[in-house]
Structure 1
Amino acid sequence: MLKSKSTYKYLDFVKLSQLYNWSVQYLNDSKIRFTTKYPLVQIKEFLTRNKTAIEIQDDVYYKRATIKVRNGGIFLRDTVIGSKIGTKNQFVISKGQFLLSKIDARNGAFGVVPEELDGGIITGNFWTFDVDYSKVNPHYLALLTTTNEFIEFCEQASNGTTNRHYLQEPLFLDIKVPLPSLAEQNKLVEEYNAIIEEGNKIDIQIESIRQKIQSYLLNAIGIKDSNNLENNKTAECQYKYLKFTNLSDINRWDYWNQEQSITTLLHTTKYPIVTLGSYNLIHRKWVRDSNTFRYVEIGSVEPLRGIVNAEELSTDKAPSRATQIIKEGDLIIGTTRPYLKKFAIVPSEYDSCVCSSGFQVIAANKNYNLNFLYEYLHTYLAINQFEFYMTGALYPAITNKDLKKVLVPFPPLEIQNDIVQYIQVLKEKVQSLIQQASIAHTIAKKRFETQIF
């Protein structure tokens, strides 16, 4: 007579059909509660790795892709000439392929290559897969792989040091997922997109207000925004092969048209120009005097919402980049890929948290309004300066030394306060719209998940 499993209370049993690999942690922790109403099929049955290599040429322009986490989609990061690309051996992607980041898979960085990125390039940190369209709609797969449960699986199927967990390709391809008929997949995707479309309409309203905020700020300090640039182009058209720059605006002698245009435009403001280094840039060293701490990393900051979370960690497992303390009212500036606008004013709930060395901290001061500086840093005038000073290929960043060189218009404090007060009214409208868009996304996600879990 066979004994029941309860007799072996210290043993765990796994069916042979589910024995994807010999990792005990993976087998114990990676049980995704997929529905049984659809057949479960291994991902490798409909995805095939594509490694179309390309050697970057210095005189050719290339489209580079970026993947937003948690079903944020795949977008054009930039178009850049090959001489500016440090990693010369990369890979080509095509429209309709399935793409993921092996680093950020644990954060839901999956998606389908859009038409505008056909022929784009990626580094080895991304994986490209050809899709068997007779079996799967890649957009259905993108929705499935960005659910919380699948993201948790990717965390378990990844290894490496803190913030560098790499997804293991065999584990990813071996996982079984529910595969409805193509007609059912298409229906699920259409239902999801119908709700998301309402959210997208709200996003358009949000972007309109953000543009209004930028235009208002620039006009308030006496800069004519993009119209000024167009006027400059018209005035210079008779000298179409020449570019004129004031000697006082030259910071370096190599040609960088965009940077010089921005510098010239900044000097049209009716207020003094200062450098970011004139603010109170500080580094409050973190002393490890407790067992736990709350950590704000780069991923904890979102462009519109600021700091969204602080993970509580054991001090003995602190990341090497956990180095400094932040205080309520500080402005923190993400210096890695600053064009992502990882900037935030620290609210009271994150007072005395530890933050990454990837942030530059500016302390509050009675001589300036940090909210004014925060809003200015979101304008193209500041972002273009960040990009001018960035160095590095895989993780472009601006050094603290160069950050101090960024030019900032400096109105009197009472003018800064008035500008911030007006912008705050517009931002309250933005926050209300963000909540509406978030609700739409949550509804769409829950409806999809009820079908597959």
Structure 2
Amino acid sequence: MNAKQLKDSILQYALQGSLFNDSRENAITLYEAIKNYQQKQIESKLIKKVKEEYIVDLKEVPFDIPVNWRWVKIGDIFNVRGGKRVPRGYKLLTTKTPYVYLRVADMKDGSITSNDLHYVDEEVYQGIKNYTISSNDLYLTIAGTIGKVGIIPEEFDGALLTENAVKIEISHVNKLFVKLLLESPIVQNQFQQAVNKVAQPKLSIRNINQVMIPLPPLSVQLELINRISELERKIKLYSELKLDIDLLNSNFPMNLEKSILQYAMQGRLVVQDPNDEPAQQLIEKIQLEKERLIKDKVIKKEKPLLPITEEEIPFDIPSSWEWVRLGDISKVIEYGTSQKTSEFEQKVPVLRMNNIVNGEISYDKLKYVNEDIKDLPKLYLKHQDILFNRTNSYELVGKSACYKGEDNRFSFASYLIRVEILKTFVSPIYINYYLNSYLCRKTQIEPHIIQQNGQANFNGTKLKNIIIPLPPLKEQNRIVQQIEKMLLVKNKLNNAF
């Protein structure tokens, strides 16, 4: 369903009284007030007495409405007046004068656009000055593009009106409600049916006056405007996001989130930039940095991990990328504290298995330890540490999340593994997305899960040996930005209604 179809459905729903009708008022009172006002205008010779009768045949109404509403015809409660063409022998001017002449081309998006206004001179104005439109009126296009409805901004109050549109003079009824009413499928369909009956496609004032409309009490009109305005805001969001979602779905035809991550990790989500430093040079810098950290006794020297074989590589990556093992780009990979935790709030909250939810850290149901336990300060989390769930059900083991809080405030439990990435060279957020991707799970995690006594396990040694498709650092950051943008679009659309 596109945005227009969605708006039409909402308007139809509203005009049947299904969206809101919590009112003790009756539209008959409103109708009588309109008729009294019209009678006074006739007596004051401001409008002519209508010769034609506008009686609604209830057998012809398209749907039922609430009992406190009333079916009426446009000509029964509104005054519809036409515009006027420029007299023969005269032309519109593009040079500015005091007299704006509004054309159908100026009537866009429910209002008036001022980027290409036309004017008339004093002589033409004097000849057609009775054919103006007020900011209290609505316009309705009747030729060319038929059925467009809009308001007249204050700056165009008193502008001359083209013969290809009419003005609808409104009293006692909310103007914005009338605009919504005239834009609705029930009214637009009647307009089109009237046009289709004539050889020349033009909507006559006589046919406009015969169009049936539902008239709710004024309080209902006001509430409907508020509710539809809020829904229109969401429709606009839907319209904007739908374009992005359609684009995403055209490129990623399977499960959207799974597909985004899969394309990202294959180098197909963003364009490679030949000016980026290749990942091979990045790896050389990482090796030098690890040697420095070992020399400075910041980390311990460990047995080198085995080289990656051709048989291990699960899919192709761009030439500027490299395959690496997780342990080779990490500063530390270690288990959390086995210290018993308490539900009573103490100094240090401890993140546990249940705190990893959909690739993010959840801070619900925290437990705590004292700050003087033997595992601290060593097992304090640092910003952008990755927590990997090493023990859980088969579906949940291997899930990870990136800690984005402050350094030295949280610790983590022994069923989790902390991966401290060398952040100068590698984006932990990129690595976390990879660990949570379908590709990583199917090729690197599930084949090595061990199940015992109803629990699934994946140890730290296996985690170190996971192979990672490593892009240049700038490309890692572009990938992260693009993933987050796409997931934001997806989530906004899900939450829009």
TM-score normalised according to structure 2 size: 0.34
TM-score normalised according to structure 1 size: 0.37
Specify the structure having the higher radius of gyration (Cα).
2
